[in-house]
Amino acid sequence: MSERLEPGDKAPAFTLADQNGEKVRLTDFKGRKLLVYWYPKALTPGCTTQSCEVRDAREDLSSLGVDVVGISPDAPAANEKFDAKHGLGFPLLSDEDHAVAEKYGVWGEKKLYGKAYMGIIRSAFLVDEKGRIEQAWYKVSPKNTVPNARKALGV
C-alpha cells in the first residue's frame, strides 16, 4: 500500500470517467468541499450500504457546501448499473487501473478466506475548498462514511 494521506496534504488530482462516460476532475469541485469515498465493487452488499447512505445524506451534505463522488475499479458500465439500480444520482468514477487509488493510499493487500489479493481498501476523504485533505478515514466501515463526514463538518 502506498503512503497514507493526512489532513493538510494536497489531494491527489484525478480525471476519471463517471458512469455516463463523462470526465470528472478534482478541479471541477474547487471552491466546494468534496467527500471522496472509495468502494471495492459495485452492487456488492457493503458497497451498496455505503453508497445508499451517501445518497440519502447527499441533500444535507450539499446544503453544507459538500459534493460527493464515489470511486472504484469498476468499469463505467458497472457503475452505471449500480447507479440505475439504486438511484444514487452522483458521480461514480472508474479507476480501472487503480492509479488514482494508489495515490490516495487505498490500493493494498486484502485477505478473504485466508487468501491474499490486491484491492481497494474502503476509505473516505473530506477534501476542502482548496483541494487539501481535511480528513482521511482508511478502512472505514460502510456505515461510517456519512457519520464521519457529518462529525468532521460539525453536524
Segment 85-143, tens digit of pLDDT: 999 999 999 999 999 999 999 999 998 899 999 999 999 999 999 999 999 999 999 99
User: Residue holding cell 495515490?
Assistant: 103
> Is 47 marked active-site?
yes
Residue 17 has pLDDT above 70, yes or no: yes
Superfamily of domain 15-142: Glutaredoxin (3.40.30.10)
Per-residue pLDDT at 2:
59
**Global confidence as pTM:** 0.95
Catalytic residue among 24, 42, 47, 133: 47
Relative to beta strand 107-112, strand 115-120 is: antiparallel
Q: Which of 33, 4, 35 is nearest to 121 (CA)?
A: 4
- Structural domain boundaries in the chain: 15-142
pLDDT at 60 over 80: yes
| Largest interatomic CA distance in the chain | 44
